[in-house]
Structure 1
């Protein structure tokens, strides 16, 4: 794409969004607000506007531009261009009329639009997008914020991974690095949330949480449910061990294949295992999801966040004090040439990404 086609003027984007009018607002995240726009030639676009209150927004902006401009895949949201004028920083994406997955999945009526086949296609689409980021693109990328809010749906309900503001390039010769923590409560792997240990297995853990949410049609933490069901991972693990895993399946989903449902739940639990080394890589995940002839290993216990915001392993009866330790840490250490910044804040608890960025 030529530069003049990639760079949008602020005036053009203001006109397309009716000066960023609230009626065109599609959503709000840690980066800022997203607006629907219509260009003069009638094309629909989505404009992400950097919040002026975001102290680290410029880093996120440059991170997203550099990364997304260099990756293209059918299951990644396509970046059409950007705008940087004065203090304004904006990203322009293709527009998706069905918005993000959470707006349909968690809605009591819209959720019925997602029959079992559509849910399986969404799961596979997310997996293929992550496989591309982890293994098949020229850059090795860890997204760090995989969640239902960041999965967009096109007019055919195909999944598109979006929001690369927290994405991080990963060295080809390293299995993991230590870095500052950024992400969303409920989707963060324990080794990353508590020790800043980052690897592709962090995305795989988040993917596992999303898989269980898609199957169940509920959020990973729901305090309105009975106490024993409030934490999705804990509930799914108990049902699986009791042989009642199908009770997890969303009642709104029609034409459910029990065999496929059991396989998807099994794979989801393999992805959220507390031991990161046991989680499968995305290429194996796709094989397990796509073929009933692939034998699945027994998952070990998952790790999840309790209501007290401590990480818990289901094999233990008491909560760890991981988040308390995480908040107390003030020193830095260097691993694999990457500096670990101080852990001063816990992950977001309201589905908005918390960012603690570093230069790569």
Structure 2
């Protein structure tokens, strides 16, 4: 190779190297804006999102910025917060709870949304199917179509003569039909009637729910047990509800993962299982995946916890046949 060819080859190699470095610099200089919208207040869910995204290579202040909004139980603030996130130009919105997801979906049909803590994404209209969401919303759900029937089956096994059940819900959850019942409420009413139990649906709402009125109504209707639904107001106040139920001598059944409430029993999929999955979905979206084509992940692991301390306080004896099916017993 003569000198001229050598120089030209060297120049070409240098230009190629410079181009690669420039492209790499442009790629790494991208700063992602991750929006997060919560029904409640800052807690382990948001910390998990930040920590797990950091583990995946998203360094806060370097290549990711978080825009988090917390309704703290005032669900009427969610639409305004969702609009703020859209105006901030976020690349994705992580939502926690049905109302937060609905608010984000109404604020934008183009910005990708990754949802968690949504009982039934199809029923509330944010996904066509769990397998092919079809819009701008995907995520993780602990939706369990058999939950209501399984919970009521356990209650019937424990209280064979059970005739009346109170069902505590939240009036602010989306998807109510002409009867005023949301999908999760309809499922529980149907399951109760299927085993010969008369259901009484009671709804509270807001950051300061009126539980006294709800419990007075339970007593008036002679409710024998209380089924607490995994919806915003009961979710935030689960320990207070357990205290009031104990004071009124009413046994309680909670959703899976709510054994910390102090109720008699908790059964079902565990909402905390969705937290570490959220950052994985956010990462997929930031890398180019389209929510319309990303199936919802369904958490399927169920947990059954019995609180014997609460049983003793209520003067109840849990049959050995029921105890043997518990994954964990609190004594």
- TM-score interval w.r.t. the shorter chain? under 0.3
* Structure whose alpha-carbon radius of gyration is higher: 2
If the length of structure 2 is used for normalisation, what is the TM-score? 0.24
Q: Which has the higher helix share?
A: 2
Q: Which has the higher strand share?
A: 2
